[in-house]
Amino acid sequence: MIVEDRELKIFSGQSHPEFAQKVCESLYIPLAASKIYRFSDGEIGISIEESVRGADVYVIQSTCYPANENLVELLIFLDALRRASAYQINVVIPYFGYARQDRKTRGREPITAKLVANLLEKAGADRVVSADLHAGQIQGFFDIPVDHLTAVPLLASYFQEKLKDEIEANNLVVVSPDIGGVVRARRFAEPMHTELAIVDKRRSYDIANHCDVMEIIGHVEGKVVILIDDIIDTAGTVVKAAEALFERGAKKIYAAATHAVLSGPAIERLKNSPIEEVVLTDTIPLPEEKMLDKITLLSIAPLFAEAISRIHSNDSVSILFR
């Protein structure tokens, strides 16, 4: 229930206005008015078109492609709200760009996820709400509260209904495409009481977005498998994993992920892969030209709406993590 003593206002950046509209519809409130424009030299300008003084404000902006444009727009938006005397500025980032640059893998590299956290705080953010950060430790990069939501229950619920016969026959295996995703895969598998398998891969850091699948840990022969990951970017990881599973006798292969980055050759790779269906959420806008017949898009906007409602009314958000 939304409290009445402090007004709730939701603004949208330009990265994903459809998502922001879905959140507002779930909360039965209108999207707050703002104007985003460009100067002739390409600089971004933002005008807040209604009073936000003393209000709890939420800005919804995925820092997806074009990541730099969307990030700078978000920073300017936060500065405008801070200078307009908003009581609390909450940044809702369904997809947190630069999250994969969360550590140094070799000398003289930046930790860009930490830099982005610093920029958001400096610009005026009082809280961050995001989903399925590439690395959970990114929450520690902030000195403000971070509510880290997950799409795992939403994705698992979809497959529980779709593959209930396979689950009852104990014929389903959940697969993590790498060692780092085992915790996510286990959480996905638990409500379905299924077995777990892992793809052991070797990544080449000399070539961006390139990896080589090495071995499958677990039994997949004759099984229906679900590959679960946080991001599908160029689809190299998930497609190589699917091919390795197919070679080892998997009967049917499904894939699921929270963030549909789908850059470069991703669509062509998925189209030609042995994957039957790819289930994604709408944290990133998916244009029509990328909507393959085998892609299913689920909306995570109601989960974000519930989180916003709970934060605004000072109720627990932790129940939404399960």
Whether residue 92 contacts residue 305, with contact meaning beta carbons closer than 8 Å, is answered with no
pLDDT tens across 241-294, in order? 999 999 999 999 999 999 999 999 999 999 999 999 999 999 999 999 999 999
> How many percent of the chain have pLDDT more than 70?
94
pLDDT of residue 202: 64
pLDDT tens across 181-227, in order? 999 999 999 999 999 999 987 655 555 555 565 689 999 999 999 99
Q: Residue 40: pLDDT above 50?
A: yes
Which domain covers residue 117, as residue numbers? 8-150+301-321
CATH number, residue 244: 3.40.50.2020
In a domain, 3, yes or no: no
3-state helix/strand/coil string of 250-307: CCEEEEEEEEECCCCCHHHHHHCCCCCEEEEECCCCCCHHHCCCCEEEECCHHHHHHH
Q: Residue 313: pLDDT above 90?
A: yes
Is the full-model pTM beyond 0.85? yes
310 and 290, same structural domain?
Answer: no
162 and 83, same structural domain?
Answer: no
pLDDT of residue 318: 86
132 and 224, same structural domain?
Answer: no
- Residue given tokens 């003084």 in the structure block: 53
E-strand spans in the chain? 8-12, 34-38, 44-48, 56-60, 88-93, 127-131, 146-149, 172-176, 195-203, 211-217, 224-232, 252-260, 277-281, 295-298
pLDDT of residue 207: 54
In a domain, 2, yes or no: no
In a domain, 18, yes or no: yes
Q: How confident is the model at residue 1 (pLDDT cuts 50, 70, 90)?
A: very low
- Cα distance between residue 174 and residue 292, in whole Å: 23
Q: Residue 321: pLDDT above 50?
A: yes
205 and 117, same structural domain?
Answer: no
What are the φ/ψ torsions at residue 169 (nearest 5 degrees)?
-85, 5
Total domain count for the chain? 2
- Residue given tokens 């610093």 in the structure block: 118
174 and 85, same structural domain?
Answer: no
Tokens of 264: 């470069």
306 and 185, same structural domain?
Answer: no
* Non-local CB neighbours of 165 within 8 Å, separated by 6+ positions: none
310 and 228, same structural domain?
Answer: no
Provide the annotated active-site residues. Answer: 201
Cis peptide before 66 (omega within 30 of 0): yes
Among 65, 95, 67, 81, residue whose Cα is nearest residue 32: 81
121 and 108, same structural domain?
Answer: yes
260 and 314, same structural domain?
Answer: no
313 and 294, same structural domain?
Answer: no
